[in-house]
Amino acid sequence: MPRPYTIIVSEVTVDGKLTLRKGRSSKEIMQFMDEEANRYLHELRAKVDGIMVGAETIRTDNPFLTVRYVEGKNPTRIVPTSKADIPLDANILKKDAPTIIVTSKQAPQEKVNAIREKAEVLVVGEESVDLVEMMNQLYQKGIKSLMVEGGSTLNWNLIRLGLVDEVRLIHIPFIVGGSDTPTLVGGEGFYSFDEVVKLKLRAHFLRGSHLITEWEIKFED
């Protein structure tokens, strides 16, 4: 089934954390990124057709997901949320860029109707969003390349389904710790080394004071 070429892009601490604590905004860590690291992030946004985050990121961070540090087009903003549980005043529902909310048949119809007044809505899946079918429909809509700035749950669900091609990390020189602090990939996790996703380091370099690493996912033949 055709799907967008998908890149997870994330800012992570040395110990792989996304935030200071569960429920805290990732913007608290991102504020320590220097201008060159922010330029790198926004250069990527300007090159892709779509940018995706999960509903928890919308509720916690309320991002705009637009291109600001460089010249370039804004990608289409995409949020999978099985119950359509995002605030109606969220920044991604403003007119800065196109937005697609992907939900399931479980979502309350009145909430879906309210979101449709502000953005495009796709209903894909019965009780939860069918991520594989979502990717197919996004591809059919012209989203050939997709950047994911998701949280640990969205990252896990995309990776476990084999829907990710690259991982690019902006390393923040902190150690946060915390057994329940969100990491780059959460979820259930794999139980054996036969299941784990294998990667190949393609590039590593500095942008400003930050190490950037770019990884390709090695798909089995």
The model's pTM is 0.95
- Secondary structure of the chain as H, E, C letters: CCCCEEEEEEEEECCCECCCCCCCCCHHHHCCCCHHHHHHHHHHHHHCCEEECCHHHHHHHCCCCCCCCCCCCCCEEEEECCCCCCCCCCHHHCCCCCEEEEECCCCCHHHHHHHHCCCEEEECCCCCCCHHHHHHHHHHCCCCEEEECCCHHHHHHHHHCCCCCEEEEEEECCCCCCCCCCECCCCCCCCCCCCCCCEEEEEEEEECCEEEEEEEECCCC
* Residue 126 belongs to a domain: yes
Which tens digit of pLDDT belongs to each residue from 183-215? 999 999 999 999 999 999 999 999 999 999 999
* Residue 192 belongs to a domain: yes
pLDDT at residue 152, rounded to an integer: 94
User: How buried is residue 97: exposed, middle or buried, by Cβ count under 10 Å (0-12/13-18/19+)?
Assistant: middle
Q: Are 155 and 8 in contact (CB under 8 A)?
A: yes
Which tens digit of pLDDT belongs to each residue from 119-143? 999 999 999 999 999 999 999 999 9
* Residue 178 belongs to a domain: yes
pLDDT at residue 45, rounded to an integer: 97
* Residue 44 belongs to a domain: yes
pLDDT at residue 150, rounded to an integer: 86
Compute the average pLDDT of residues 160-170: 97
* Residue 220 belongs to a domain: no
Residues β-bridged to residue 103: 123
Number of domains the chain is built from: 1
pLDDT at residue 3, rounded to an integer: 97
pLDDT at residue 183, rounded to an integer: 95
Q: β-strands 76-80, 50-52: how paired?
A: parallel
Structural tokens at position 125: 């899946």
pLDDT at residue 221, rounded to an integer: 61
* Residue 6 belongs to a domain: no
Taking alpha carbons only, the member of 6, 67, 8 closest to residue 185 is 8
Per-residue burial over 105-135, b if 16 or more Cβ lie within 10 Å, else e, is: eebeeebbeebeebbebbbbbeebbbbeebb
Task: Find the CATH number of the domain harbouring 156.
Answer: 3.40.430.10
Sign of CA dihedral 140, 144, 147, 148: positive
* Residue 106 belongs to a domain: yes
Residues β-bridged to residue 120: 100
pLDDT at residue 219, rounded to an integer: 83
* Residue 147 belongs to a domain: yes
* Residues ≥6 apart with Cβ < 8 Å to 209: 34, 36, 37, 173
Owning domain of residue 129: 16-213
For 21-35, 48-62, 63-77, 92-106, which range has the lowest pLDDT when averaged over its residues? 21-35
